[in-house]
Amino acid sequence: MGFPVTGCRKGTIHAFTEQINTLAACKLSVGMWDGRNAVEYQGMPFSRIDVWLPTSPDQMMLWPSTLTFSMDFYTTLAKHALPIRPEAVRSFAGSARKLDMYFWFNYRLHRLREPTTLSWNAVADQFGGNFDRQRAFKAHFAEDLRDIKDVFPKLSVALSESGLTMAPTDHPFPCPTARSA
């Protein structure tokens, strides 16, 4: 997956194990709007998780690991799939918020029919979970948006005092510009 394999309590094996356990226990609720109908999936995303993790970085995998999507979740994903550019994911891999912004913009701009402005409160509800002050959130969000627009300069979003304005485009996420990750 592109990260170093390290042991100990603060190592990647431990963190990955915690994430797998969290996935195994999660119940998911995903709401979607197709322009006419609201669609919602609620349930367990996986019908089976068989993950065999090593206990040390030098240990080889003893058995293959598999994650099996539940059929309902898989069908929902397949029906509402969005085009994702792997090079964009790599560019933003170091920042969970930038990845969230990329996926969210991709979803919203893909379906947008007219220019829309979201208030800063709405934007903060979506992306500002760890900020106590809106001023700090705005500054970080603006910086993250600049990084996204460095990769996608034709992205039709802008910030103002009132919030975030998005405008429809034919290709919301055209091929990104060349950029070192």
What angle is formed at CA 126 by the lines to CA 122 and CA 131, rounded to 5 degrees?
Answer: 95
pLDDT higher than 70, residue 149: yes
Which amino acid is residue 107, in one-letter code?
Y
> Is residue 51 packed enough to be buried (19+ CB in 10 Å), middle (13-18) or exposed (0-12)?
middle
* Average confidence (pLDDT) over 144-170: 90
Give the pLDDT confidence score for residue 130 in this predicted structure.
77
Tokens encoding 41: 């999936």
Tell me the pLDDT tens digit for each residue of 66-77.
889 899 888 888
| Residue 180: pLDDT band with limits 50, 70, 90 | very low
Domain residue spans of the chain: 12-79, 86-166
Tell me the pLDDT tens digit for each residue of 5-18.
777 777 777 777 78
φ, ψ of residue 108 to 5 degrees: the values are -65, -50
Neighbour count for residue 152 (Cβ, 10 Å) = 22
Q: What is the DSSP letter of 175?
A: S
Count of residues for the chain? 181
